[in-house]
Structure 1
Amino acid sequence: MKTKSANQTNNKVDLGSAPIGKLLLKLAIPCITAQIINVLYNIVDRMYIGHIPHIGSDALTGVGVTMPLITAIAAFASLICMGSAPRSSIFLGQNNKNVAERIMNQSFVLLIIVAIVLTAGVLIFGPNLLSAFGASEATLPYAWSYIQIYALGTIFVQIALGMNAFINSQGYSQWGMLTVCIGAILNIILDPIFIFTLNMGVRGAALATIISQGVSAAFVFWFLCSKHSYLHINPKFFKISWHIVAPCLALGLSPFIMQITESVLTISFNSSLLRYGGDLAVGSMTILSSVMQFALLPLTGLTQGAQPILSYNFGAGNKERIIQTFKLLLVCCLVYSISLCAFCEIAPRSVAMIFSSDAQLLDYTEWSLRIYIAGVAIFGMQIACQQTFVALGNAKTSLFLAIFRKIILLIPLIYILPMFVENKVFGVFLAEPISDIVAATTTAIVFVKYAKNKLPKLLAENLKKSQAQKQAAQA
């Protein structure tokens, strides 16, 4: 009796032969929607918090200071699953369901372990960390009130974010979108009730968030145990094997570093801005990071939609489909990043008003956003190339590129540039566009060399493996 292949069961999505344009559209739109809705957990919190009477500006700045910890929590989910999910797709492309399922289950166990450790760490060291991240005497109480409750929901965040990657990697992008929508919509409903009606303030925002993440996590778990999924959570695969998880963690280092360095960046930005511009500059940075986080989500969604196509066909050794997918991904990313940059340069105040009605904070944010966003025009090239490295299982190169932009370029520039300009705050913000431009150019050069020299050999090897697995299955 014949069984359906992974390619045939992926929500009726044929990763190996369906037209690339329609396939990318079908997978990317739910991923983009999910990304946008997912970030609403934090963005909506800030929108409501920034408009709390009398304390809105200080409360918004305080919650902004918690972002390094929140980003770090999400980064560990990426470490485990953003490398595991592409590898799972590659093995599905090689018709090896057993290994793909082992990868998913062992990742699930690792997420739970990491969640326990992170929760304990935040609850023990939270106040000291927040002070180091740029919280002042005026903003620390709001920051601690928020993160104290948020930390209790860490396990929900890990499962909801981490395991959802396996739903998308199988081609079930619409289910992945639904997973995020359920929690985000609930969060939007609960936020005003807890913050204003029950008068819980920032604590209410945090409580609404973790309840919503808990519902999302429950839905993810249900789906991966149900008949709707090709890969299933199964306790018999829970025992962790180093030879299974090590390559996944190596590949996950790139997205992990991309996210964890966001925490380091936020600390660097906040500490420098607090020194040169005070709480007003830090509050402006909270808005800038929120705008950047939200505005770049379509790029993340596009790369997530392309990932199953790239990974599956890389595992199958299909060169032409990889080339077609990457070209389309690159064009889409560049068109979006150029349009985004143009809009923010033309109407920065309109964007800032989403987060605050404080005239002084809006004035500060209006000019700083124009500087901060200036390099985003070519950022589409950066993310398209870098995430394709991840999808193709190239851990070393993706790791280098992640380190290069933020650790080698951006963080040092945050401290160096203010030494050479009269307006110190201007120098801090200028570090972002300079790093974006240099990193995107470098990434493009590295990718072209890789595509010409190494990729053809790897595809030939994978084609042989795929054919051998297929013949073994038929026998």
Structure 2
Amino acid sequence: MNRSDAMRDQEIGSLLLKFSLPAIVGMLVNSLYNIVDRIFVGRGVGSLAIAATTVAFPIMIILMAVSMLIGVGATALISIRLGEQKKEEAEKVAGNAMTMLILLPAIFAILFLLFTEPILVAFGASENVLPYARDFVYIIMFGSIFGSISMGMNNFIRAEGNPKMAMNTQILGALINIVLNYFFIFRLGLGLKGSALATVISQFISSVWVLSYFFTGKSLVKIKTKNLMPQWPILLSIMAIGFSPFAMQIANSIQQLILNKTLMNYGGDMALSAVGIMMSLSTLLFMPILGISQGAQPIIGYNYGARQYQRVKETLKIAIIASTAIALAGYLVLIIWPTEIVGLFSTDKQLIALTVHAMMIFFTMLPVLGFQIISSTYFQAVGKAKESAILSLSRQVLLFIPLLLILPHFWGIDGVWRTAPIADFLAVILTATVIYLEMRKLGKVTVIAQSEEVACH
């Protein structure tokens, strides 16, 4: 059974495990890198450096958003086209996407470098934090193309049915990053510049690794020179599907900008450092769920394209159950050992106490967020951009940002922490309603498809 046919015929549970486990391992390694990186920064440079990475985070999110606009959209289309047995069209999508994964981050990096300091100040950098943030982001920008290629095209590898190779890409980049971070910060004394340099070098090596997969004949979907010239119909299809995760990341960046400003007003640099620690922990908590999401996406997309709707529903159900179990386990670890976990990042007792208090409130709704994330991914996978955009944006734009602007006026800094669980609860209610209606509709389509199949026989 070849890689493509397995998505149509193999038992769903084992297939999802086969696709998700490498993604989970790869993303866990990546998230562990982020945690280790912030531990190195916190202990090797100081709490202001943690605050600087918090200020720089919205900019890195925007770079990620550009990659996801093309990478996620192209991945969904590649899966659907392979399910429809249209390999040549899948290759056109991949070629067009590769070109845009190079051009878009390059344009963004140039624009940012022209207005660095005003952007960093707008994103919450105080006079004390600004020098650290500037040093960090300058270097990150020069490696933006490498990060775009390695992240975006690694999704193509997963879409064509080779999740282990995609996992190896993530592990390679993360391990190199960890080793170089330690060497540059603690051995060479390069501080936050060393952390940024380690990131860029690891992204460069990862991008070379990914490109070698496509240009040495290992891939099912080939990158051909004739497909590199952008074609508007293809690009518009890619961006229509990729718009949901793109918009979600842009909203996340705007959310982070407003959050940073609010934190500076109510808690200062210490509150920024606390959020920096929580973001690292959040990455670790959400990456396994996103791994399941990435594993489910090509299976859902392929079977939707092949009109195997019962397999689509089964994949969604198993993915939701697995992600909820992981989210619950992560939440229990946080509430049982909060002080010990936060203490890994800093020895500052005031920072530890503030972060533990914030974390207990901020992550209250964590156990149910797996359902929300997987459901949003379903609509990406089947090419329903509008529904995916609404669900993805519900937490960051429709709910989180308005609550963030209102609640601190009543509860001060605690109003900032309470924004997340309230927004999460409302987003889950909205998601449950939309996915229920979609499953009813899909059930009717399944009956029609089965009737047509019986008629053909």
Q: Could you say which TM-score interval applies, normalised by the shorter chain?
A: over 0.9
Give the Cα–Cα distance (whole angstroms) in 2 for the partners of residues 159 and 402 of structure 1: 23
Change (3 A) 1:464 1:92: farther
SS at match of 2:115: helix
- Would you say the 8 A contact 2:26–2:168 is kept in 1? yes
- Would you say the 8 A contact 1:315–1:463 is kept in 2? no
The one-letter code of the counterpart of 2:424 is D
Residue 355 (structure 1) shift: 1.9
- Would you say the 8 A contact 2:30–2:174 is kept in 1? yes
Give the Cα–Cα distance (whole angstroms) in 2 for the partners of residues 409 and 90 of structure 1: 32
The one-letter code of the counterpart of 2:441 is N
Residue 31 of structure 1 pairs with residue 17 of structure 2:
no
Give the Cα–Cα distance (whole angstroms) in 2 for the partners of residues 336 and 311 of structure 1: 23
Give the Cα–Cα distance (whole angstroms) in 2 for the partners of residues 128 and 409 of structure 1: 28
Give the Cα–Cα distance (whole angstroms) in 2 for the partners of residues 46 and 384 of structure 1: 28
SS at match of 2:383: coil
Give the Cα–Cα distance (whole angstroms) in 1 for the partners of residues 451 and 171 of structure 2: 38
Give the Cα–Cα distance (whole angstroms) in 2 for the partners of residues 107 and 355 of structure 1: 38
- Tell me, which stretches of 5 or more residues in structure 1 are unaligned? 1-6, 469-475
Change (3 A) 1:458 1:81: farther
Q: Which residue, out of 346, 362, 374, partners 2:352? A: 362
Change (3 A) 1:455 1:103: farther
Q: Which residue, out of 421, 426, 437, partners 1:449? A: 437
Mean Cα deviation higher: 190-199 or 84-93: 190-199
Change (3 A) 1:121 1:225: same
- Tell me, which stretches of 5 or more residues in structure 2 are unaligned? none
Give the Cα–Cα distance (whole angstroms) in 2 for the partners of residues 127 and 362 of structure 1: 30
SS at match of 1:296: helix
Change (3 A) 1:200 1:353: same
TM-score normalised to structure 2 length: 0.96
Q: Which residue, out of 233, 251, 268, partners 1:261? A: 251
Match of 1:435 in 2: 423
Change (3 A) 1:302 1:93: same
- Would you say the 8 A contact 1:317–1:460 is kept in 2? no
TM-score normalised to structure 1 length: 0.92
Residue 434 (structure 1) shift: 0.4
| CA deviation profile, 1:360-404 (whole Å, cap 9, x unmatched) | 110110110000000111101101111111111111100111222
Match of 1:165 in 2: 155
Give the Cα–Cα distance (whole angstroms) in 2 for the partners of residues 266 and 280 of structure 1: 16
The one-letter code of the counterpart of 1:19 is E
| CA deviation profile, 1:411-437 (whole Å, cap 9, x unmatched) | 11011011222xx00001100000111
Match of 1:272 in 2: 262
- Would you say the 8 A contact 1:226–1:232 is kept in 2? no
Give the Cα–Cα distance (whole angstroms) in 1 for the partners of residues 97 and 78 of structure 2: 11
Give the Cα–Cα distance (whole angstroms) in 1 for the partners of residues 254 and 36 of structure 2: 23
Give the Cα–Cα distance (whole angstroms) in 2 for the partners of residues 462 and 365 of structure 1: 54
- Would you say the 8 A contact 2:3–2:162 is kept in 1? no
- Would you say the 8 A contact 1:93–1:315 is kept in 2? yes
Change (3 A) 1:153 1:398: same
The one-letter code of the counterpart of 2:87 is K
Residue 56 of structure 1 pairs with residue 46 of structure 2:
yes
Residue 216 of structure 1 pairs with residue 210 of structure 2:
no
Give the Cα–Cα distance (whole angstroms) in 2 for the partners of residues 431 and 339 of structure 1: 23
- Would you say the 8 A contact 1:318–1:459 is kept in 2? no
Give the Cα–Cα distance (whole angstroms) in 1 for the partners of residues 447 and 384 of structure 2: 13
Match of 1:471 in 2: none
Q: Which residue, out of 86, 98, 101, partners 1:96? A: 86
- Would you say the 8 A contact 1:352–1:362 is kept in 2? yes
Paired residues, what number?
A: 454
Residue 171 (structure 1) shift: 1.2
Question: RMSD of the TM alignment (CA)?
Answer: 1.9
Q: After superposition, where does 1:26-425 map in structure 2 within 5 Å?
A: 26-52=18-44, 55-421=45-411, 424-425=412-413
Residue 462 (structure 1) shift: 12
Q: Which residue, out of 13, 25, 28, partners 1:21? A: 13
Change (3 A) 1:463 1:115: farther
